[in-house]
Structure 1
């Protein structure tokens, strides 16, 4: 099988970073552009399914008839998009911040699952756990779409209650009201909350987040009975909320990334490879998309050495090369150092493990790289 080709993030034309801005424009809010050509409406629900990739969905279409029927139905408009790209890296932190701010990673600065903060003396921030004392608003200062809309629309987030004050929420999706769910398995409560929020005010925007598909995929892999069962549950929940929503509400279902299963024999431990670990001062990112910093060696030489070892298994780029290639969109000068000196994105079904992140050893499903299964997510628009 030939190595996978990279999927370029479609910033400004068909990326997750274009979704909420297009929704706002479709609601008639000034200052936004409807680049996705969404239907005009006063009420929108954006339903984010963490880990729902386009390729994962259509491969298991029988287990998600409501979602798959919309994904695979003949388009009434030949130009109607059914997919978006994730940003680079294709990971929750970056994707949700792109969604929330309607900007590429190079603008908002949440450039990966875990990345160095220059102002923190080289410490690595993991935004999912927010392990550093830095303020989320300092780390990510770009106003969110929800903030920009909260004085003009009834804006609501429906998600787990414990996420209300999390660092990632405050960085990526702050703004509007937050309706916290105490039990994420209670789909009836989620449906009720979404419908009530959609009915608030003359115009409304609801962002609903569901993470269970991603959790199962990481634990068991996506080609498993457990994953298909969770996909069926997700499909049923979306069908029920669409049926319960008022007729004037546009429901949009999307994902933040797809997923690839990584066999045990395709895992390379960085510390066991002298030509990889030599001269590396910091390994961050995640197994499918590593970010490397070297305070002692030139990045070009580090990249060349990693490329020689990994060959066609990976795309290896220096920071400057990745920026020039459009991986992060335009990058603000003050944010460049957050991106690794060298970036390593896996092309096949392999992964780069490290002893500094042993908790990653138990994952089966992974993501982060630029392959089509990881980068392509559905854009399912259920019109009134």
Structure 2
């Protein structure tokens, strides 16, 4: 069934003019999935959870499978739901709810949340690029590297416990007798980030989609606990070719076909709850019209904060959610300047106001406040606003996410028990 109650709730959070959707942290939000998982495993770990209508009722299961399908947002679910047996079965025999991403609508934020149980504002890991005070530079947290080169932060002496939050969710599951198994592509499962953040889980790599689904299916037959499955290729293809491309359709076809034939059709376990969701959707970006603020407004450099080396602290976020570290005395001036220059292209807001309004959740950590810029530029529809450094920072991806546009923020949450 389609959970209409959830759809109605999310529509109330959407601005009809800007088409921005505010995250629903109190109810229908990705941040509440760790609590939902623990509750379905029969544990009370004091995490917030999704409303009961998303799972029918809270019963205890020996096994919970969480399939994290990167970028498979609600708009894509709507597009394909009548075309594929997998989605038809999940609708007819399960519960499909609409929930929101956290903001920023990024993979960095959401993989950290699902592994640690911490919301984006608690973990401080919020984007692909951001300023890290411990390093005093812009970094790429998931790659454990500087933004302007691939040099390892760990090799430079920056310890993981200073860069990433403590993995308390999987640790708590383990302490309560629940094993955790994580399935990810072999090329990323052994990353510095994963080595630290998944230290209380068993890591299983796979080279192909079919191999991963077969490993997952077979392990469910003999093991109990939480099974986390991550599939990134829909996101990757969507970035490269855009959400309306033949290549994207092909990758979704591949995933949904094998999901049905290898996994859903072959799995028969009443004590297993299957949950499927995404971290975000994607919006089409017109790469022919990027707005580079350091080119269009060169004087902006005079107002941006610098690190101890004298380098500008820029850019943080993405071309959909560009966080700026503006010198405090110029904050209002730059806010008004950008609002004027970016009219009909993007919204510009103070992050402090957004914190107070609950856009980042309700437990704002000191770590997050130190990392995030004081202004944020939020692109409308197919627009992009970014920083230009040839070969390093450019707008070239036809599909993007990170902002508040409804196609980025609205995602499915599927509950299924065969």
What's the TM-score, normalizing by structure 1?
A: 0.89
- 1:265 Cα deviation from its structure 2 partner: 3.4
Distance 1:69 1:266, change over 3 A: farther
What residue is the counterpart of 2:171 in the other structure? 147
- 1:84 Cα deviation from its structure 2 partner: 1.9
Preserved CA contact (<8 Å) 1:197 1:204: no
What residue is the counterpart of 2:68 in the other structure? 48
Measure, in 2, the Cα distance between the counterparts of 1:174 and 1:64: 37
- 1:263 Cα deviation from its structure 2 partner: 1.2
Alignment of 1:323-342 (within 5 A): 323-329=355-361, 330-342=363-375
Measure, in 1, the Cα distance between the counterparts of 2:349 and 2:125: 19
What residue is the counterpart of 2:129 in the other structure? 114
Preserved CA contact (<8 Å) 2:67 2:228: yes
Whether 1:216 and 2:260 are equivalent positions in the alignment is no
Deviations 1:5-58 (A, max 9, x none): 321112242211111221111111131454343342211111111111111221
Measure, in 1, the Cα distance between the counterparts of 2:267 and 2:293: 50
Preserved CA contact (<8 Å) 1:25 1:32: no
Q: Which runs of 5+ in 1 are unaligned?
A: none
Preserved CA contact (<8 Å) 2:36 2:50: yes
Whether 1:100 and 2:121 are equivalent positions in the alignment is no
What residue is the counterpart of 1:85 in the other structure? 100
Deviations 1:271-316 (A, max 9, x none): 2212655523322211111011124753222222111211243221
Measure, in 2, the Cα distance between the counterparts of 1:359 and 1:332: 29
Preserved CA contact (<8 Å) 2:287 2:396: no
Distance 1:64 1:277, change over 3 A: farther
Preserved CA contact (<8 Å) 2:274 2:415: yes
Measure, in 2, the Cα distance between the counterparts of 1:21 and 1:261: 32
Preserved CA contact (<8 Å) 1:220 1:365: yes
Whether 1:10 and 2:10 are equivalent positions in the alignment is no
Distance 1:144 1:83, change over 3 A: farther
What residue is the counterpart of 2:409 in the other structure? 375
Query: What SS is found at the alignment partner of 1:370?
Result: coil
- 1:100 Cα deviation from its structure 2 partner: 2.1
Measure, in 2, the Cα distance between the counterparts of 1:128 and 1:146: 19
Let me know the Cα RMSD of the aligned residues: 2.3
What residue is the counterpart of 1:289 in the other structure? 321
Report how many residues are paired.
373
Whether 1:253 and 2:272 are equivalent positions in the alignment is no
Q: Which runs of 5+ in 2 are unaligned?
A: 1-15, 146-152, 305-311
Preserved CA contact (<8 Å) 2:138 2:315: no
Query: What SS is found at the alignment partner of 1:103?
Result: coil
What residue is the counterpart of 1:316 in the other structure? 348
- Higher mean alpha-carbon deviation, 40-49 vs 354-363, is at 354-363
Query: What SS is found at the alignment partner of 1:311?
Result: coil
